[in-house]
Amino acid sequence: MNHYDAIVLGAGAAGLMAAISAGQRGRKVLVLDHAPQVGSKILISGGGRCNFTNTGTVPDRFLSANPHFARSALARYTPRHFIELVQKHRIPFHEKTLGQLFCDHSARDIVAMLLAECTAAGVEIRTGTRVIEVSKPDHFRVETSRGTATAPALVLATGGLSIPKMGATGLSLDLARRFGLPLVETRPGLVPLTFEGEMLALMRPLSGVALPAVARAGRAKFPEAVLFTHRGLSGPAILQISSYWRPGQPIALDLLPGQDPTALLLERKKARPRAEPRTILAEFLPQRLAQALAEAWLPPAEMANQTDKALRAVGERLRSLSLTPAGTEGYAKAEVMLGGVDTNALSSRSLEAKAVPGLFVVGEAVDVTGWLGGYNFQWAWASGWCAGEAI
Ligand code: FDA
């Protein structure tokens, strides 16, 4: 290893894209990764099919202390650009739902595509390489388990802290801090929520039950599936809301979206007076959930013997069930990390540190986090591409 135009730390989505765009512009690029293979998270993403972008990408689908920061990169490298790349490599894909594009076959196709682009652009990739020390006497100097390399540009692209079992580390955050860049507090995002006490006692036996619902936290609201787990709640609606949830806050669930549960229950009391409440609830909810809620919320009597007041109270809870999570399942289960390198320290056009010329931060290490549904990869591609264009 010796002198390059740029050294990229992290051969994930953002790092490979930065290397490709810089390499295509004739830059001599070295990518270093401690993992034995490139793009480990790409390989496991989207259940192995990689939800590689979202055609509905707009800046308000991203969380950041500065919600405007992502605008420039997202506008310069759009889902259309990535789709063109996927089509150029003849990778078959489909839209699953809500603009989410997945590979028909395997996420391996996306990694193979990125590697082919790296090869074509002359990018050198070293996997299984540990970063020992980074300094900047003049140029950046990266000392590794396989030798030392120098370059006038260094790209921090080692991602976030989620799934440490797969080799996630805080290297980019540590180096950013060392070079004087401020950080926004980090926490797990797109993560299942955990509950304790009576609430968990109600949820645990329902593990595996899923239903369409609307989850809310503050002003954020997501109409998607909710899934009961042995530790609490998961499913897309919960993962989405988890990024907006703060410890101590309640979340609210509408378990019968688009319906008026109180009116339904009072009408059924007249229409089916001999029916058990759990049978009535099972007309609208999964059977196991209907049974658990009827047992927890109503006395054991047929509909005719339930008071209107009690049915109204159940209706109200079905419409807006307020629950206070005990916590989240943490980085071990989080799809992303929220927070990261403070965007105030970076150029929104090039992702270069304003105070450290030649230092770039891209992908999940930056305080920009997307919703579930392909947005995080789109941010990785866009931020990586913009940095590569500036090197
Ligand atoms: P990324 O994590 O991709 O890459 C970082 C690289 O740096 C890795 O190769 C790692 O080995 C390397 N590295 C880390 N520490 C290092 C060190 N100390 N030294 C050297 N190298 C180091 N998003 C989406 O849009 N659609 C989806 O379908 C999914 N699905 C999904 C599933 C699961 C289970 C997870 C955990 C996450 C997703 N995501 C997702 C999120 C998405 O994977 C994530 O946002 C991007 O991979 C972030 O790209 P980066 O390049 O920033 O980091």
CATH 2.40.30.10 fits 193-328, yes or no: yes
Give distance in angstroms: CA of 38 to centre of ligand 1. Answer: 10
pLDDT at 23 > cutoff 90: yes
Residue 383 Cα: closest atom of ligand 1: 52
The model's pLDDT over 91-120, given as tens digits with 9 standing for 90+, comes to 999 999 999 999 999 999 999 999 999 999
Counting residues of the chain whose pLDDT is more than 70, the rounded percentage is 100
Counting residues of the chain whose pLDDT is more than 90, the rounded percentage is 99
The model's pLDDT over 328-338, given as tens digits with 9 standing for 90+, comes to 999 999 999 99
What kind of architecture, by CATH, is found in domain 2-188+336-390? 3-Layer(bba) Sandwich (3.50)
pLDDT at 1 > cutoff 70: no
Mean pLDDT of 354-374: 98
Residue 380 · residue 363 · CB < 8 Å: yes
pLDDT at 189 > cutoff 90: yes
Q: Is 389's C-beta closer than 6 angstroms to any atom of ligand 1?
A: no
Boundaries of every domain in the chain: 2-188+336-390, 193-328
Give distance in angstroms: CA of 15 to centre of ligand 1. Answer: 10
d(CA 76, CA 80): 11
Q: Is 50's C-beta closer than 6 angstroms to any atom of ligand 1?
A: yes
Mean pLDDT of 257-264: 97
The model's pLDDT over 210-245, given as tens digits with 9 standing for 90+, comes to 999 999 999 999 999 999 999 999 999 999 999 999
- Please report the pLDDT score of residue 93 as a whole number: 98
Q: Is 219 helix (H, G, I), strand (E, B) or coil?
A: coil
User: Ligand 1: which of 64, 94, 376 to mutate, judged by most atoms within 8 Å of the beta carbon?
Assistant: 376
Q: Is 34's C-beta closer than 6 angstroms to any atom of ligand 1?
A: yes
Residue 193 · residue 238 · CB < 8 Å: yes
Q: Report the chain's mean pLDDT, rounded to a whole number.
A: 97
Q: Is 99's C-beta closer than 6 angstroms to any atom of ligand 1?
A: no
Give distance in angstroms: CA of 205 to centre of ligand 1. Answer: 33
Residue 77 · residue 386 · CB < 8 Å: yes
Q: Is 335's C-beta closer than 6 angstroms to any atom of ligand 1?
A: yes
The model's pLDDT over 55-97, given as tens digits with 9 standing for 90+, comes to 999 999 999 999 999 999 999 999 999 999 999 999 999 999 9
What sign does the dihedral 231-237-239-244 (CA atoms) show?
negative
- Closest C-alpha among 52, 51, 49, 16 to residue 32: 16
Give distance in angstroms: CA of 13 to centre of ligand 1. Answer: 7
Instruction: Look at ligand 1, atom 53, and give the residue with the nearest C-alpha.
Output: 159
Residue 14 Cα: closest atom of ligand 1: 51
